[in-house]
Structure 1
Amino acid sequence: MTTEEGHVAGDQVRPRIRHNDYSPLAPAPIGGWRPEVPVSVIIPAYGGQHRLDLTLASLAAQTYPAHLTEVVIVDDGSAPPLRLPQIRPENTRIVTTADGWGPGHAVNTGVAATDGTVVQRVDADMILHRDHLEALLRWHHLTDILVTIGGKRFIEESPVTAAEVHEAVTGDTLTRLFDPEKTIPSTTEMTILRLDGMRSSKNPYHVCTGPTLSLHRTLFLDVGGFDTEAQRGEDTELGYRLAQAGAVFVPDLTARAVHLGLPAQQRDRGATVRTVEPYLAHRVPLRRDLRKERGRGWRVPYVEVVLDVAEASERVTRAAVNAALDGSLPDVAVTLVAPWSALPSGRHPVLTAPGFDLRMLRTGFADDPRVRLAEDVPPSATPVPFRYSGPVDVPLAPETLERMVKTVLDERIGMLVVTFPDGRTATVERTEAVGRALRLARPGEPRADVIRQTHGVRHGPADAFWPSAAEPPAAPVQAAAPQKDMRSAMAGLTEARGPAARPRAKRSWVRRLRTAIRTHYRIHP
C-alpha cells in the first residue's frame, strides 16, 4: 500500500482518511466474510429487568460468532439486583459498580472487566436486529481508528416476551413484532442521512448520541474512557475527545435497532437541553454557542498558546503572555516552557541565584489558572482543539490568534504555518489532525507530512495575521529607559504642534498621541 493510501501497523492497515471521508474503506458484505475480532458487549443497566431480558434475547440471536462475543451487564445499583435470564448469549455475566454511578462509570467498569479487542456499548432498553453487531464489527476489521455508530428507532413499549423477541430476531422478522410505521427516527439518524453518512460533516462526533457504539479498546483507553462525572451528555463528550485523538466516525444505518420508549427530548426537551448544556460548555470548546459569556473561565480552553521562555527575559515573556490573554479571542490558556525544575528552591540567595528572570516568572504566574509552567509539552494539545506556537519575542497582535484559528476552520486545514521576515515561523495546529497523524505516522515520518494528507497544511506570510509583521519581529520588545522613550515621543508631539504643523488636522495630532502612548506601554508593559 502506498504512502498516500496508508500503512500497515501490526495486522492493521491504517489508511490516510481525509477528514471524515471514509469512502476509501470497503467493508465486507454482511454474511459474506469471516469475522476474527473478539468483541466485548457492555450493557450499563439500572433496574428494568424486563427490558434487559429483551435486549439479551436479541443479542443471543446475532449473526456475529458467539465464540468471539462476550456480554457483560454492569448493574449500577439496581434494587433488587439484576439477574441473568434464561435466554441470553453464551458468554454473559453480571458485574456491579463501585465508587460511583451513572452510565459512563458503568461502561468504564464493564470495559475494565473484559478483554475483547473491540468494545461495543449497548443500552439495556435496545432490541438489536440479527446482523447489528456484524454490521458494525466488519468495519473494525479494516482499521483501528474507527468509531462505528448503529441506527435506532424509538417505539412505545408493548407487551412482548423475551422468547418472542428471540424468535423474531433469529428469523429476521423483527419488523412484524414492532411495526416500522409506528417507530420514530432519532434526530441523530436524520443528521446522518442529511450529511452523507457524516462524510461531509465538520464535527462528526456529534452523532455519538446513540446507545449503540463500538470502537477498538486501545482507542477507548487512550482517551481515558467515559467521563465519570457526567450524568447526561457523556456520549457526546466522549465523542469529542475521540475526535481530538484522530478517530474517524462511521455511522452504519444497516445496523438497525429498536429503542423501547420515547426519546427524552419528547418527554421534556427543555429540561433535557438545560441539563446537558452547562456540562458540554466546560468540556467541548468547539460548542462556541455555549460560551457566549466572554468573561467566564472554562475547564477546557479553546486555544493553547505555547511559548519557549527558557532564554527570554521576564519583560519579554510578560509582554507575550499579556498579548495572548488580552486578544480578541477569549478562552485562551498559555503554557510557558522552561527548565523550571532546575531553578533553586529552598534556601538560596534570592538576588544572585541563577535563573533570576525565570524565578520571577515562576512566582508571578504560579497562581494564574490561565498560565501553566511546563518543562515540555505533549505532542498533542488534547482536549484543547487548537495549539499556537511561535517566538516569544513576537507578541500576538490583538486579532492574530482569532484570524489564524478562523483560517484553519474556514479552510478545514490541519496546520497553518506563517513565516516572519527573518525566517522564523509561528504555527496553529488543529488537535484532531495532530491526533490522527500520531496514530498513522510511520516511525520517523514527519507529522506534518501526514497532516498534509489527512487535513491539509497551508503556508503563508505573517503580515496577513500581524499588522506590523513587515517590521523586524524584535521591534515590539526593543526598549530603552522608560522616561527617555516617553520624553522622545512627547517631544515629537510638541514639535508637531509648532507653526509648521498647524495646517494638520486635530485628528492627526490625537492619533499621534495615542500611537505614542501605545508604543510606550507595548515596550514597557
Structure 2
Amino acid sequence: MTGGAAIGLPPIRHNDYSPLRPPALGGWEPSLPVSVVIPAHGGQHRLDLVLAALAAQTYPDRLLEVIVVDDGSDPPLRLPEIAPPDTRIVTADPGGWGTSHAVNTGAAVAGGAVLHRLDSDMVVCREHVEALARWHHLSDHVVTIGAKKFVEEPAVEPARLHEAVRAGALGDVFDLSSALPSSTEETIARLDGLRASRNPYHVCTGPTVALRREVFHAVGGLDPAVPRGEDTEFAYRLAQHGVVFVPDMEARAVHLGLPAQRLDRDRAVRLVAPYLAHRVPLRRDLRKDRGRRWLVPYVEVVLHVDGAGQEQVREAVGAALSGSVGDVVVTLVAPWPDPAAGRRPAPGDPAFELRLMREHFSHDDRVRLADRVSPTPAPIPFRYTGPVSVPPAPRTLERMIEALQRDRLGMLVVDLADGGTAVLQRTEALGRARLLGACGVTAVTASIEATHGVRRADRAEFWPAARPDTARQDTARQDAAGAGTPQGTARPGGARPDRGRPAAKSPEPDRPGPRAPGRPGHGKAEPERRAPADPALRGPRSPRTLLSRLRAVLGEG
C-alpha cells in the first residue's frame, strides 16, 4: 500500500470499494496484528461465551490479542478458562464510565495495527476476525462492519460453544432459523453492500467494527459525552475523515438477546435524537428548531482578510451569517497581532486594522480568528472559501451545497471573474484526499476529482442577477434607514430585509438538499454589489488560470 491505497488499484470512488478484491477465507496469510477490544459491565456468563468463541478463531493466535475493559462491574470480571492465549482484563480509566470511555481505555493500551471493537454479548463465528481483517491488508482507510442476528440466549456452557464455533456449526447451539435479522443488514443489501450509499456511516453501529488504530486515534476515539448513539456519532466523524465503509456478511455473529428497540422503539429513537442533532449536521431532519445554534455547524466559511478593510470584512461576515443556511461558522484568516503587545491600538500601528477587526469579532462565537486554514474543517461537513470582495449572496451557500449534494461531488469551483474564485469542499472528500497523501491545491483537487468529482461553474448560477424591482425596493429600504447600510451587512439582532418569509422544508437525512430548516427562504435575490477586489486575492491585472485563482482563494497562492 502507498498513501492509504492498495498498490496498482484505482482510487475508491465515494464508497464503492469494488476495486478491493479480498482473498478467500482460509486462502491467504495474515500479517497484521489485531487487537479485539471488548467493553463490558457485568454479564460474566455472556463474556465467557464471547471469549470461548474468540478462542476458536481462524485468525492466527500470534497476531491476536483480546482486551476486556471492565467498566465498573460488581463483582469485577474475571478471565474464564477458555479464552484466546493473549487475553487480559483491564479496568476502565478512573474519572469516567460508559461504553465509549471503556473502548477508549482499551484502544489506548492496544498494540495491534487493527482495532476490532466487539460487544460483550456478541458471539462470533470462527472466521469473523479473519473476514474483517482481510480488508485492512488491502487498504488502511477502510472501516469494516460485521453481520449479526439477534437470538434468545440459550443455556449453553462455554466448552460446548467453543467446540461448535471451531467446527463451524453455530446452528448446533443457536436456533438461527428463528433469529431476528438486523435492520442494518437490510439497508446494506438494499444499497449494494453500501456501495451505493450516500451516508454509509448510518449503518456502522458498534457491536462489531474494525479499523486501523491510527484512524481511531486520528478522529479522537469515541466521545464519552454521548451516552446514546455514540457509535453513529463516531462513524460520522470517521466519514468526515474520509474512510470507506465495508460490510462483510461472512463475518457472521449472533447477538445474545433481542434488540432493546423492540421494547419501546419511540423512546429508543428519542433518546438518541438530541445527541445526534448537535453532532451530526447531515441529520437535517433533527435540526428543525428556528434560530438554534448547534454544537457542530453545517458549513465553515473561510475568508482571508489580511489587507482588507474592516467595513468590507464586516459586510462579508454579515452576508455569510445572514444567508438562507443558518448553521454557519466564519473563520477569518490573517496574521493576527498578539493582543498583549502594546498598551492600546494606535492610528500609526501597522496592525491597526487587524487589531480593531479582532476586537469587533472576538466575542461572537460564530466567528473564529485563525492564523492559517486548518487542514480539514471536520467534523463540519462543508467548507466554503471565497474572497472578501465578493460576499455570498443570500442563497449562495444553499445553492452550492444543493449542487454538491445532487451530483455527489467533492468540490465545486465557481469562477468569479475579477473577484477571484469561490470554492465549496465536501469534508469527507478532502479527508479522503489527505488519507491518500495528497498535498497542495493541485494534488488535492486531482484526488477529489478521482474519488468524488469536481465541478466548475460560473458566477451567475450562484450569484444570480437581481431583478430591477428588487433593486429599487432594497435601495428604498437603505434610504429609509438613513445611513445607507451596505448591502449584505448584518443588521442589529441579525435582522434582514426579507425576514418573515416561509421557512424551507428540511430534506430527509440521506437525500441531497442542504436548506437549513427553520430559516427564512429567499424568493428574490439581493441586488449584487461588487466591492473592489482585494489586491492580495486579485494579483496582477493579467489573465489568470482557474487553478491560480483556486490556489489564491485557498490561501496557497
Give TM-score scaled by structure 2 length.
0.83
Q: How does 1:441-452 map to 2 (within 5 A)?
A: 441=437, 446-452=443-449
Cα–Cα, structure 1 residues 278 and 524, in superposed 2: closer, same or farther, change >3 Å? closer
Greater helix fraction, Structure 1 or Structure 2 = 1
State the AA in 2 paired with 1:21. Answer: D
Cα–Cα, structure 1 residues 244 and 513, in superposed 2: closer, same or farther, change >3 Å? closer
2:41 is the alignment partner of 1:81? no
Q: Which residue of 2 aligns with 1:20?
A: 15
Deviates more, 1:12-21 or 1:204-213: 12-21
Cα–Cα, structure 1 residues 129 and 356, in superposed 2: closer, same or farther, change >3 Å? same
| CA apart distance, 1:517 | 3.0
| CA apart distance, 1:150 | 0.2
Q: Which runs of 4+ in 1 moved over 2 A?
A: 7-15, 341-346, 348-357, 441-445, 510-525
Query: Matched residues in 2 for 1:316 and 1:514: separation?
Result: 19
Aligned equivalent of 2:252, options 247, 256, 259? 256
1:393 is paired with a residue whose SS is coil
Query: Matched residues in 1 for 2:254 and 2:472: separation?
Result: 71
1:147 is paired with a residue whose SS is strand
| CA apart distance, 1:341 | 3.1
Q: Which residue of 1 aligns with 2:167?
A: 171
| CA apart distance, 1:209 | 1.3
Q: Which residue of 2 aligns with 1:453?
A: 450
Query: Matched residues in 1 for 2:241 and 2:438: separation?
Result: 17
Q: How does 1:3-402 map to 2 (within 5 A)?
A: 8-9=2-3, 13=7, 15-97=10-92, 98-342=94-338, 345-402=341-398
The answer on whether the counterparts of 2:390 and 2:419 sit within 8 Å (CA) in structure 1 is no
Q: How does 1:410-449 map to 2 (within 5 A)?
A: 410-422=406-418, 424-441=420-437, 446-449=443-446
Aligned equivalent of 1:521, options 465, 485, 491? 485
Q: CA RMSD in A?
A: 2.0
Query: Matched residues in 2 for 1:290 and 1:513: separation?
Result: 36
State the AA in 2 paired with 1:450. Answer: S
Query: Matched residues in 1 for 2:444 and 2:112: separation?
Result: 30
Query: Matched residues in 1 for 2:466 and 2:421: separation?
Result: 12
| CA apart distance, 1:350 | 3.8
2:379 is paired with a residue whose SS is coil
The answer on whether the counterparts of 1:420 and 1:469 sit within 8 Å (CA) in structure 2 is no
The answer on whether the counterparts of 2:4 and 2:435 sit within 8 Å (CA) in structure 1 is no
Query: Matched residues in 1 for 2:120 and 2:70: separation?
Result: 10
Cα–Cα, structure 1 residues 47 and 316, in superposed 2: closer, same or farther, change >3 Å? same
Cα–Cα, structure 1 residues 443 and 466, in superposed 2: closer, same or farther, change >3 Å? closer
| CA apart distance, 1:229 | 1.1
The answer on whether the counterparts of 1:343 and 1:355 sit within 8 Å (CA) in structure 2 is no
The higher radius of gyration belongs to 1
State the AA in 2 paired with 1:153. Answer: K
The answer on whether the counterparts of 1:156 and 1:260 sit within 8 Å (CA) in structure 2 is yes
1:327 is paired with a residue whose SS is coil
Query: Matched residues in 1 for 2:343 and 2:395: separation?
Result: 44
The answer on whether the counterparts of 2:415 and 2:457 sit within 8 Å (CA) in structure 1 is yes
2:507 is the alignment partner of 1:512? no
The answer on whether the counterparts of 1:102 and 1:230 sit within 8 Å (CA) in structure 2 is no
1:205 is paired with a residue whose SS is helix
| CA apart distance, 1:423 | 6.2
Cα–Cα, structure 1 residues 313 and 443, in superposed 2: closer, same or farther, change >3 Å? closer
State the AA in 1 paired with 2:445. Answer: A
Q: Which runs of no fewer than 5 residues in structure 1 stay unpaired?
A: 1-6, 471-506
Give CA deviations for 1:122-157 in whole Å, capped at 9, x if unaligned. Answer: 100011011011111111110100000000000111
The answer on whether the counterparts of 2:4 and 2:436 sit within 8 Å (CA) in structure 1 is no
1:379 is paired with a residue whose SS is coil
Give CA deviations for 1:186-229 in whole Å, capped at 9, x if unaligned. Answer: 11111111111000000001111141000011111111111111
| CA apart distance, 1:422 | 1.6
Give CA deviations for 1:69-113 in whole Å, capped at 9, x if unaligned. Answer: 000000000000000000000000000012211111101100111
Number of aligned positions between the proteins: 482
Query: Matched residues in 2 for 1:465 and 1:10: separation?
Result: 35
Q: Which runs of no fewer than 5 residues in structure 2 stay unpaired?
A: 490-557
Give CA deviations for 1:425-447 in whole Å, capped at 9, x if unaligned. Answer: 00000000000001113566610
Q: Which residue of 2 aligns with 1:493?
A: none
Cα–Cα, structure 1 residues 150 and 513, in superposed 2: closer, same or farther, change >3 Å? closer
Identity %: 58
The answer on whether the counterparts of 1:323 and 1:395 sit within 8 Å (CA) in structure 2 is yes
2:88 is paired with a residue whose SS is strand
Deviates more, 1:403-412 or 1:434-443: 434-443
1:340 is paired with a residue whose SS is coil
State the AA in 2 paired with 1:41. Answer: V
State the AA in 1 paired with 2:23. Answer: A
Query: Matched residues in 2 for 1:319 and 1:286: separation?
Result: 28
The answer on whether the counterparts of 1:18 and 1:453 sit within 8 Å (CA) in structure 2 is yes
Query: Matched residues in 2 for 1:239 and 1:80: separation?
Result: 32
Give CA deviations for 1:259-314 in whole Å, capped at 9, x if unaligned. Answer: 00111111221221111110011111000000011311101000000001111111
Query: Matched residues in 2 for 1:136 and 1:524: separation?
Result: 52
